[in-house]
Amino acid sequence: MSELKSKYKSSIKRVLPAATVALALLLPISAHAAAPGITGTGTGTAGAPVFNLTAQDARITQPDGQSIYSWGYGCATGSTPTFAPEAVNTSNLITPCPTMQIPGPTLIVNENDTVTVHLKNNLPNGAGNTSILFPGFDVSGPATAASDYGVQGVLTREAAPGATVTYTFTAKSAGTRPYYSGTQGDLQVEMGLYGAIIVLPDSSKVSASCLTTQNDKARGAYLATVGGGTEKDFRLAEAAFDGLASACYDREYLFQFSEIDPRIHSQAEAQVAALSLCTVNCGLDVQTEPYHPTYFMVNGRSMPDDMDTNYAVEYPHQPYNGNPHMHPGELVLLRIVGQGRWQHPFHEHGNHVRILARDGNLILSQADPTKLAGPLLFTTTTTPGVAMDGIFYWTGKGLNWDVYGHHGTTDAANSAALPCSPDANGYNTLGTSYQAINYYEWCADHNKPLEKAPFGDVGGGGPATLPDPNYLTNGTWYGGSAYLGPDATVRATGPTGSTPPSGTIGNGPSSEAGFAFMWHSHNEREITTNNVFPGGMMMMMLVDSREFQIDESN
């Protein structure tokens, strides 16, 4: 058990003071995220991907130790999907694409692809029929034999127990969308039958400004040599949508929000067992109201489980994690999907999120249809069945001190004073290497120490009051100081400064020492696990100095 998990298991028994919670959240652990998923199997051709899925039952885990009987989509036995992004490390995956996972496999296709999905119903007989809805797409049946046509349900064609149904559609527009069961949705979606589709834009129409490595230095893939190696590009594409420079991005993360009422799952499990011999007119009669969820999940996991790596062996049926990482100034595409039955007001600390599109539909200016006009959201409220694509970034602007801690001194790596040359927007991009530690620094705060004298308050000569070192959160992710980077405290205050030197508490001087921002639901009950805080819909956004190599390989 990791140190974080050990701390959490002991602390979840009681409500903790805020400072202790922060410490518990930031204990050493390595966790990264991306937008992982699969492309079509080997039976598909370019422009016509084929996905062979199954619906099955299994158990998923929660941080309080509970094992929840659930249903989920997965890869059919024998199928060989290709993982995406291309840079993801699959060599250590015990079950790269399980036959049941929550959320279901993220299906990644290209704009204008003809997509075929075969779904085999491997749920217990007593569960009855199942299906998939693909909102936003014009779905048809199989092109040839009617053997996979299934049976007609209320909303779509369904697969009877042990049978297969085939869906075909054209991915006519880019963006993020959900998919989920169209059969007895109040039960089957609750049980876990949901997932996401990512449609990548037509690469021939992507704005030229998105296609260069540095892209005015502020955008594009960050492929610079950092941390002793080349940082890989984990994006699925250069832009979220084609034809718009404002749709370029540097990193991307997929977040699906859902909840669980364990009473419903227990009823379903008991009825499935009672109907194990059912062969005709099977189906459950589970009472789904009143609805009282007690588990709240991001990508199928609750905090702190969502801070473990993608494909971690502890969660064989919950492969996707949370925890976005970024460097200052990078444009981060957030793919946000509301699954389940409740709205979830998710708040991203550090900045607002500029919404580009909803359900793949761009939000454009009426005055100028070539420009985006989506809202700037304080919380991205996730409505069930609705997906949003938005851009987030963090720069340090407005903090009112030099977060890099350079203060005109020499930088250990460059052996020269780091300049700050503001561009038209006030950021350090002019004449500055994209690999510079303080690239994209807010130049109005350059050379501005938190305090010239490292004791006392504003009277010490700085623009802000220095926090008591005992109140600073420490750990592998956060450096324990108010400065960004493993050796920034030494640059800023010297080796005897009063703030805990980043690199001496919880991490080495050359390792990660960034800022950690809590991203969480603004519904306080939803940041609990089975009504005990902390837990639920909570994760950490990590801002790292550019000398730290962010590895999103799993």
User: Tens of pLDDT along 66-100?
Assistant: 999 999 999 999 888 888 887 776 665 656 689 99
Secondary structure tally for the chain: helices H, strands E: 5, 25
Say how far apart CA 380 and CA 336 lie, in whole Å. Answer: 8
Residue 540 lies in a domain: no
Residue 292 lies in a domain: no
- The pLDDT score that the predictor gives to residue 220 is 38
pLDDT greater at residue 484 or residue 157:
157
- The pLDDT score that the predictor gives to residue 45 is 65
Least confident segment among 174-188, 297-311, 368-382, 482-496: 482-496
Residue 188 lies in a domain: no
Taking only the tens place, the pLDDT of each residue in 455-480 is 555 666 667 666 665 555 666 666 66
Say how far apart CA 352 and CA 346 lie, in whole Å. Answer: 11
The pLDDT confidence band at residue 182, using thresholds 50, 70 and 90, is very high
Say how far apart CA 355 and CA 378 lie, in whole Å. Answer: 11
Cis peptide before 85 (omega within 30 of 0): yes
Instruction: Say whether pLDDT at 524 is over 90.
Output: yes
- The pLDDT score that the predictor gives to residue 12 is 36
Give the range of the structural domain holding residue 489, as residue numbers without chain letter. Answer: 397-513
The pLDDT confidence band at residue 132, using thresholds 50, 70 and 90, is very high
Region 215-238 average pLDDT:
58
- The pLDDT score that the predictor gives to residue 536 is 96
The total number of structural domains that make up the chain:
1
Region 336-347 average pLDDT:
95
Residue 196 lies in a domain: no
Confirm if 400 and 448 have CB atoms less than 8 A apart: yes
Taking only the tens place, the pLDDT of each residue in 14-25 is 233 333 334 334
Residue 411 lies in a domain: yes
Residue 127 lies in a domain: no
Residue 391 lies in a domain: no
Say how far apart CA 417 and CA 406 lie, in whole Å. Answer: 8
Least confident segment among 131-140, 308-317, 333-342: 308-317
| Per-chain mean pLDDT for the chain | 81
Instruction: Say whether pLDDT at 505 is over 80.
Output: no
Region 474-490 average pLDDT:
71
Task: Single out the residue of 113, 109, 99, 108 nearest to residue 53, CA to CA.
Answer: 99
Residue 262 lies in a domain: no
Write the CB contacts of 262 (distance below 8 Å, at least 6 apart in sequence). Answer: 66, 68, 294, 295
Task: Single out the residue of 466, 495, 497, 494 nearest to residue 482, CA to CA.
Answer: 466
